[in-house]
Structure 1
């Protein structure tokens, strides 16, 4: 009998220990600033297991005045002091259930900061701000010959001042100049076709007030945008990426379910050095009163491992990419001897990044060819400051190559599964993926202004690492991808090289399969690839779309320095011409057959 009771207690201990807390019992109710009470409640459950915080449905308001503050290094954002609504640190098996509530933010405040947490879930809530981190200006007059135009805006939503010919937008304690800007089409809620034609040089622009809600732009105007279009302006570094919606770092087994993000002064979700995360029904979109959603990417993952699973999500109207998964290339400043390297974080928006820890496997590579030459295990890491650290390896070649070196972390690369998602009507790309893990992208819908899927890797600009080795892209729809104009492809797979870098011996990327996709295209572009070994482009259907001008003519398939390529069974419908396949002289072992509607240049 005692044995039975003991076994029963062990079997049922975990469920009996679970606790659901109604936040209303702690003074957290709609209609007032609840930041202080939420901070206190979160602190009180830290260290406890199996806790669910339930917010009865309503609008909960958060203000920065009583929020906990800490200096935070946030990848691809501007580091600094951050005030936090939900500072979730060292939590186990914690669930935040919004019950369909809206969490409304009233200042420079970070909704969710999640660090050193395991089995944490955020679900059933909407994140928004009362005032956005960008401004939307409707064009009401346009003079193309004079290169001037007049805009009208809601001064309550987007307050501004004009002085000395300059317009400054008031955003939570700072006055932002025009900075980055882009013209959107209010009908499609996406960037206007060939929107780069209408970009403004904010430093040169002269602004003249024309009453309470209107002002004129002249000077610095490349081309006057059409009447009815919307000019979106969103500031400059270092103050344009201050308020992401959710940051997750140094955590494991996270999930975000049925969450909507309407705005953020940065990315919707930024994830660093985390193992296993699932996104299900995460929506990043603008609210009914705005065209644009987040200031930057919908989601971004750097230096993660395990599995990233993204299913049933909608990412639209953001001012950057839908999904970006990558590692980091770190510069080797110099070899110190005794297997020690002085290293520097390469990009300013990665300063403070945890690059490696003892036990991690890393690769040393030439910064000139961005190809690795040796692998080793990290024995120790001594952080000097947010920019530099000293790393000791277990083994180093007797002679190191001439020229500058870099290092990448091989341990922290994730698998990626993307299924049944929609990414559309945004600036930039649908997906960027550079990871050595296994990648499956299937049954998604892409309609982005630039490339649909970009498999890059660069050691010169953003320093986003990860030559791929196993990528399958199948059963997706690519609709009017590349309406920025120019050579923008549903799939671009190529490392980004500077003029001082070159191809090494052997290809950078390997084993990419682009099969059974539907491409609804105004320009007939499909795949551009450079330095890829093992490229399969098969059984894709390319259908003509009349929605945008065809623009300049580029090869439908463009191959450079590739090897072992199969192009089979692809079909063309409605173009009235054959689509070109261009193969460079240094591309080898190409099989091309049964592709009606294609021709080789």
Structure 2
């Protein structure tokens, strides 16, 4: 038997035992956090007492836990793509290290405008085994049961337990925890599909026009109102939610300036904003995260299921389900900020461009930034940040280490080149929501495989704009392969499974180079009522190959737009695609400014004749 170095053995054993001793499991019931009581204050105090102690697990015995805003911690929070405000917080996970919240399959039920989880300046946070819901969701749902004889009014039925309301002087107000909402922004849903109604824009109720409400028997209310084109069909459901700036105040999970986050087996049934909003975070993994509605409601979150702005490392989604949201499934992007003025001495006065990004941490010392020409959305020169000095939520000063001898003239902006993540999405389902399945604008490597997408608007939108949302991130390496797209675009317009184009306004133009690069759309299965596959504008390196497009009879057939529409693109391959069941071939439109296109071995998919007029939009 070999000799053992007793000293080293004792030291290593001491280190191991110390590490195990330092890892703590805490039963929250021992601190008065039990079902049937407001858990906010004792939970706040427990998390505060743990402080920055590493390797702590808070364990919730299975049950229904209630969290009210009245005694919850309050902090002013700037939340990207939401409305900034003083926030009440249930789980303030700030400056934590390796903390785990294990819900034990419990239901966390929130009341009023409270943010369930805030992760700030933390690392190694794991959230697992619980659901997030609100006793009173942020939207209200009105089932249409009758049309008036004169065609100017409808009768709706409202579940007053789920969506309590008051009628005063002919006006209907929906009662929430400590506020009321009128009928404001709204959309029509089809309860049979649990999705937005086909061509839902035709049925919008205009809240700016005079409206009156009359109480009838039971939970029935007669509404006299102005609709965009048609009365909503009997059986459909009007979904209404608050108006800005009160409709995006309470995301379910807000993560900022944090890293190594895991969300495992967490279900979000409601939120007054997004299910998850992450900004300036590094490495996030979502495994079996679910955003969905309850059996009694059609709607889950007020906005996106997940949203990532200015992150880096790897964002990974696997086996997730996102459905019934009032916005996108996932959005990954950076931010353009406007350069107001070059002040000399390497100093730039900048403005955070979109009001729902005010307070954003755009950059810090050491970050690489690119100065952009806003008129073409193309790069001019790169620099390294020496310092950033915030002035207020909207304005800040950036000092670069080096600048060119002559600063380019014209409208300029900056983007942060350091904070762009890789994205991996596999075996996820995104469906039955308003807007898109996925928005992807990141310079990192993107892999989207074996997913199921079925959304009202585009399937995957690869955009970027420097004039509306100011979401940056011209892509450089995207693979979208072996996914299933079903009935994309039942909004009733030119909505494609893949839509890749920067968004330009009338004062902007394409420059000498293309905006996006290297997009592969291969081996996907598309079930479509409109025969659309892909649209590209300002893309260099586009491969559309081996996709199968089959006719779907779920919505009225529509063939108003080309199956593949190419504009100002270069190095495009369209090969081995099959177009099945439509009765006529799919079409490929190629604009005169598109170069180097290879089309071969496609089945029932052919280029438009040169003299064929383009369909009007």
- Do both proteins adopt the same fold according to a TM-score greater than 0.5, normalized to the shorter chain? yes
Aligned with 2:219 (options 189, 213, 220): 213
Deviates more, 1:466-475 or 1:198-207: 198-207
TM-score normalised over the length of structure 2: 0.96
1:290 equivalent to 2:297? Answer yes
Q: Write the mapping of 1:95-110 to structure 2, written as runs, cut at 5 A.
A: 95-110=100-115
- Cross-structure match for 2:203: 198
SS in 1 for 2:91: strand
- Cross-structure match for 2:389: 382
Distance in 1 (CA, whole Å) between partners of 2:424 and 2:508 is 32
Q: Write the mapping of 1:212-361 to structure 2, written as runs, cut at 5 A.
A: 213-222=219-228, 223-361=230-368
Q: Return the offset for 1:210.
A: 3.2
Aligned with 2:505 (options 493, 498, 520): 498
- Cross-structure match for 2:54: 49
Q: Return the offset for 1:144.
A: 9.1
Distance in 2 (CA, whole Å) between partners of 1:200 and 1:521 is 29
SS in 2 for 1:267: coil
Q: Is the 8 A contact 2:214 2:223 kept in 1?
A: no
1:404 equivalent to 2:411? Answer yes
Deviates more, 1:382-391 or 1:217-226: 217-226
Distance in 2 (CA, whole Å) between partners of 1:144 and 1:512 is 54
- Cross-structure match for 2:527: 520
Distance in 1 (CA, whole Å) between partners of 2:448 and 2:492 is 25
Distance in 2 (CA, whole Å) between partners of 1:287 and 1:155 is 16
1:77 equivalent to 2:107? Answer no
In structure 2, the gaps of 5 or more residues are 1-5, 609-617
**Aligned Cα RMSD in Å?**
1.2
Distance in 1 (CA, whole Å) between partners of 2:607 and 2:127 is 51
Distance in 1 (CA, whole Å) between partners of 2:17 and 2:461 is 48
1:530 equivalent to 2:545? Answer no
Distance in 2 (CA, whole Å) between partners of 1:144 and 1:404 is 57
Q: Return the offset for 1:164.
A: 4.5
TM-score normalised over the length of structure 1: 0.98
SS in 2 for 1:10: helix
Q: Is the 8 A contact 1:308 1:416 kept in 2?
A: yes
Distance in 2 (CA, whole Å) between partners of 1:429 and 1:231 is 20
SS in 2 for 1:44: helix
- Residues 149-188 of structure 1 deviation map (CA, whole Å, 9 limit, x = unaligned): 2111022322223344432222232222222111111111
- Cross-structure match for 1:34: 39
Q: Return the offset for 1:13.
A: 3.6
Q: Is the 8 A contact 1:166 1:205 kept in 2?
A: no
- Cross-structure match for 1:125: 130
- Cross-structure match for 1:182: 187
Aligned with 1:481 (options 480, 488, 498): 488
CA pair 444-107 structure 1, distance change in 2 beyond 3 A: same
- Cross-structure match for 1:92: 97
SS in 2 for 1:49: coil
